Amino acid sequence: MSKIELNAGLFSKRLRLVYNAWASAGKDEDYSSIADVDALLLVAGDPAGEDEPIRKGTAFQTWLLGFEFPSTFLMFQKEQLSILCSASKAKILSQLKNSDSPVPIEFFVQAKAKEPPTDAVPRFLETFTSFDRVATLTKEKHSGKLVDEWNKAIEDAPKKPTVVDMAPAVASFLAAKDEEELKSIRTASSLTSTLLAHYVAPKLETILDREAKISHEAFATQIEARIGYGEGDKAKGPDMKVWSKGRGLNDVDWGSTEFCYPPIIQSQSTSTGYDLSPVAESSQDDISHKGVLLVSVGMRYRSYCANLGRSFIVDPSKEQEATYSLLVSLQSELLSRMKDGAIAKELYQFALSYVKDKKPELESHFVKNIGHGMGMEFRDASYLLSAKNSRKLRTNMVFNLVLGFTGLEADGKKYALQLVDTVLVGADKATCLTTGVKSVKDTLFFLNQDEAEGQSSKAPAKKAPTTKAGANGNPSPAKNKMAGGKVLRNKTRSAAQEELVQSMTAKIAEHQRELHARLHQEGLARFSEGGGGIGSKEGKGWKRFQSYKGEAGLPREVENLRIFVDRKAQTVVLPIYGYAVPFHINTIKNVSKNDEGEFTYLRVNFQTPGQLAGRKEDTPFEDPDATFIRSITYRSPDGHRFDAISKQITDLKKEVNKREQQKKEMADVIEQDTLVEIKGRRPTKLPEVFVRPALDGKRLPGEIEIHQNGLRYQSPMGSQKIDILFSNVKHLFFQPCDHELLVIIHVHLKAPIMIGKKKAHDVQFYREASDVQFDETGNRKRKYRYGDEDELELEQQERKRRQMLNKEFKLFSEKIAEAATASTGDTLEPDIPFRELSFEGVPFRTNVRLQPTTECLVHLSDPPFLVVTLSDIEIASLERVQFGLKQFDMVLIFKDFTKPPLHINSIPSAQLDDVKNWLDSVDIPLSEGPVNLNWGPIMKTINEDPYEFFQQGGWSFLGGAAAGEEVR
């Protein structure tokens, strides 16, 4: 506990607020309960149970000190603040003595467990009994050793002061929030709103759409699991697929995030009926797919609460729709009146009058209060918005605004409606901190298209759903669900089709049929009739090989009429019938040598048409109908000479092949323009980063600089640097160090560049996230650290360091994107891998984790890197998909048919559905098959005449979804 740091400045500011309010209590009725008292006593015993709501005293103590200190008494006197606590707590609280406190602080320190008792409690009691009137929280009951000792001491005291309740004054201290508190409340509100909009509402829509059988309690448990669950190795973290969609939730401390109460789900099948109070529970009954569904979710962040509640109506009547619209309009009217100086009871009276004017028959069903104050306490009864409360609202107070009707009836069944939000009081009006899923179009569901159209007089006109382009450049198909109220799948269709569309597999199959049909049409349009193939136009051409320009060029060694290997001319000169005949090494296929008796035979095989020689089968010839020499054989008794000649020819062949291969590899390497350095100011830099591919020499960290038209990585060695122009950047990735050892900025290039002696398609800048020698305080390695507290502290430092690294690298990647966009005019945004969508596979030789991003499929953690642009993919073929096999393969065929397909092997079969769902979601056509296909000959056939390929059915030969059948 000695490591706890208190915010002395904030303590002084809030303590001064308490003393100033106390001094002017006679003039302010909010503080009238402490107007004529001599002291304020704040008692804290043992901590309350986890299921108990937070007490006002605990909230007051936490607000003042920053932490909860059990078994600690605070007595506010006119001239000083007295604190009764243990020695360990006194050591922590002594930090406050150095603060700019409005009054001096005196500690009454109790003895440690094995030490003789001190006079702390008797002296504290003596001070307490010296007063005539003391204010305390009379309704709070505490337990614990110190409390029992205190109560006994008071009973035995000859003189006791008059005790009054200070709860109304404490509520006023806590009601108006400062900026630090509002920051936590805004985060709690954003968490709650994000959960509703991006998980609860879509999930509820799916349940209704598929008529899924799930209990209220089970759905509530699923909602609660979004912030993580479990302990130890089985612990599951927060669901970032949901939270990443919210605003301002990048740096959330998930350890300080919890639910105020278990989420409440109610429908007309709830056995206990509808209940609008936060103590209601989600029952074990299955959710009804008709009528009204009520959802309430409250979240707490760093002890501060936010709450919202919504009503969803399936097949609403006009009466229900009008009643819900009344709640929405009433909330809007109340927000304009909830301003500084407004009186609680007048707000309630206005709400009641508004309902009476619009729908008199609903007055008796309206809630008895329209909300309450909220902060650390979920429900502050001192600021109840009811008909009897005369308290005034002040700027920066936070309220839980609860509007609703109970006991309503439709088709002989009771129902209720609610609209609940967390609101912040301002000088002129209040604003909703919780947002989303509130309008009629978001909360009304129609199961039948005709019924929805019948509502058109009330609901806004429905627009035809527009298609949205997916990552593959293909528009996603329009779904059957519509907004405004949302039209779920049409119930008037046949039962067979209804059954079909309710399964995820069938939905994928239906979408895939559309994708394959579109792919086929695009293929026919892309390749005109008789064109587009590479067999005649872009294939290998005849290449002439010239060894010598004439007889004068022949080397002198040929005069001996012996076999001679001329490395310089890349030629083998063979004696044939008294003539020295040169053969360029490219005309020679191979050479073989064998011994028979006392002679050695050397056979030279030439390249000729008609040979089934694998890769060389398609070698072109100037005149394939000419007469060719297939091979030539020499005999000699000198076996050693033939050994040497055979080796020379083989080595020359390898050398030439290697040189050609390198030339082919370097064909796409570009020479970049000159980097234009920024002048007049220092460039933006990211220091202490390593680069991959690594530069020559010792591995040392360098720095990246952002210049006018590109990036420069400067090695600490000085002479070595890497320049990357923005015009050559195809993709920019930022990979955080969550669950990784490195934090990475990765640049994927349009055309490769030379780094050292190697060409590179990718350049990566990284820093190691885990560094045991790093220490925030001294930047030196710590030694001799033992114990749980030190381990916890090191873990916290590690977590903090990772957060700082993520923030630093993400900010720099965004600056790179801004500079690139400004330089080229083309929008470039840093792409972040979705780890939750990742799957394992073998794209090269080792098993790695492949992670989708918005535009790509990537592996960035280790070289060799993999970056596949989704828009370049023509189709994905899933192979070895069989029952009983633990793994399957995926082959990605590119739109550029000249590129070899990418094979990703050994993907676990447990991830098959995840891979299919992902491919379908980014509009990539897919197929399935039980065996591996030989893609070399297949792509050769396609490339010879792509138009003919699509004319004959295109990718339908793959079967599965490609043939229009249902995806298995």
For residue range 915-932, what is the model confidence (pLDDT) as tens digits?
999 999 999 999 999 999
pLDDT score at 503: 62
Winning range, highest mean pLDDT, from 234-243, 375-384, 493-502:
375-384
Query: How far apart are the C-alpha atoms of 175 and 389, rounded to whole Å?
Result: 15
Measured distance CA(352)–CA(350) in Å, rounded: 5
- Write out pLDDT tens, residues 335-357: 999 999 999 999 999 999 999 99
Q: Which residues pair with 731 in a beta bridge?
A: 748
Please, what sign has the CA dihedral across residues 481, 482, 488, 490? negative
Confidence at residue 666, expressed as pLDDT on a 0 to 100 scale? 67
Radius of gyration of the chain (CA): 39
pLDDT band at residue 52 under the 50/70/90 scheme:
confident
Cα separation, 467 vs 400, whole angstroms = 39
Taking CA 101 as the corner, what is the angle to CA 73 and CA 172, rounded to the nearest 5 degrees? 65
Lowest mean pLDDT across 667-671, 831-835, 840-844, 877-881: 667-671
The Cα–Cα gap between 242 and 240 comes to 5
Question: φ and ψ at 646, to 5 degrees?
Answer: -60, -45
Distance CA 422, CA 558 (A): 98
In the predicted model, is pLDDT for residue 454 greater than 60? Answer: no
Nearest to 936 by CA among 462, 617, 580: 617
112 φ, ψ to 5°? -70, 170
Picking from 418, 320, 402, 406, the residue whose alpha carbon sits closest to that of residue 365 is: 406
Distance CA 576, CA 604 (A): 13
Q: What is the band of 537 on the pLDDT scale with cuts at 50, 70, 90?
A: very low
Q: Decide: residue 577, CB within 10 A, 0-12 exposed, 13-18 middle, 19+ buried.
A: exposed
With a cut of 70, say whether residue 463 has pLDDT above it. no
Residue 7, pLDDT > 70, answer: yes
Give 52 or 838, the one with higher predicted confidence: 838
Contacts of 73 (CB under 8 A, 6+ apart): 41, 42, 43, 44, 83, 84, 85, 124, 146, 150
Helices 201-210 and 216-224: crossing angle, nearest 10°? Answer: 150
Burial grade of 369 (CB within 10 A; 0-12, 13-18, 19 or more): middle
- d(CA 81, CA 876) in angstroms, rounded, equals 72
Token pair for residue 488? 């779920």
Task: Compute the C-alpha angle 810/814/819, nearest 5°.
Answer: 150
Q: Rounded mean pLDDT of 510-520?
A: 89
| Alpha carbons 186 and 178: distance in angstroms, whole number | 12
Q: Strand, helix or coil at 907?
A: strand
Across the chain, mean pLDDT equals 84
pLDDT at 99: 76
pTM above 0.95, yes or no: no
The closest of 865, 861, 857 to 907, measured between CA atoms, is 857
Give per-residue pLDDT as tens, 274-323: 998 888 999 999 999 989 999 999 999 999 999 999 999 998 999 999 99
The residue type found at 195 is: L
pLDDT number for residue 251: 83
Residue listed under structure tokens 């069944």? 413
- What confidence score (pLDDT) does residue 525 get? 86
Residue 689 main-chain phi, psi, to 5 deg:
-120, 145
Q: Can you give the pLDDT at residue 788?
A: 62
The answer to which of 186-190, 236-240, 308-312 has the lowest mean pLDDT is 236-240
- In the predicted model, what is the mean pLDDT of residues 24-32? 86
Contact 907, 841 (CB under 8 A): yes
Q: Where does the pLDDT of residue 542 fall: very low under 50, low under 70, confident under 90, or very high at 90 and above? A: low
Average pLDDT over residues 183-206: 93
Q: Cα–Cα distance between 457 and 318 in angstroms, integer?
A: 10
| Vertex 811 angle, CA 806 and 812, to 5° | 100
pLDDT for 465 equals: 36
What beta strand segments (E) does 209-303 contain?
257-259, 264-266, 291-301
DSSP string, 43-73: ---SPPPTTSPPPHHHHHHHHHHSS--SS-E
Note the residue count of the chain. 968
| Beta-strand pair 39-42/133-136 | parallel
Write out pLDDT tens, residues 702-721. Answer: 999 999 899 999 888 767 88
Residue 635 one-letter amino acid = R
Q: What is the pLDDT of residues 722-760, one digit of tens each?
A: 999 999 999 999 999 988 889 999 999 998 888 877 888
Residue 799 has which token pair? 């977590």
Q: What per-residue confidence (pLDDT) applies to 98?
A: 75
Using CA atoms, how far apart are residues 251 and 613, in angstroms rounded to an integer?
61
3-state class percentages of the chain: helix first, strand second, coil last, to nearest 5: 35, 25, 40
Within 272-415, where are the H helices? 318-337, 344-358
Mean pLDDT, residues 247-264: 88
Q: How confident is the model at residue 622 (pLDDT cuts 50, 70, 90)?
A: low
Q: Which residues pair with 165 in a beta bridge?
A: 136
Residue indicated by tokens 């604190």: 83
Distance of CA 132 to the CA centre of its chain: 60
pLDDT of 504 reads 72
Question: What are 86-119's pLDDT values in tens digits?
Answer: 988 998 898 888 778 889 999 999 888 777 888 8
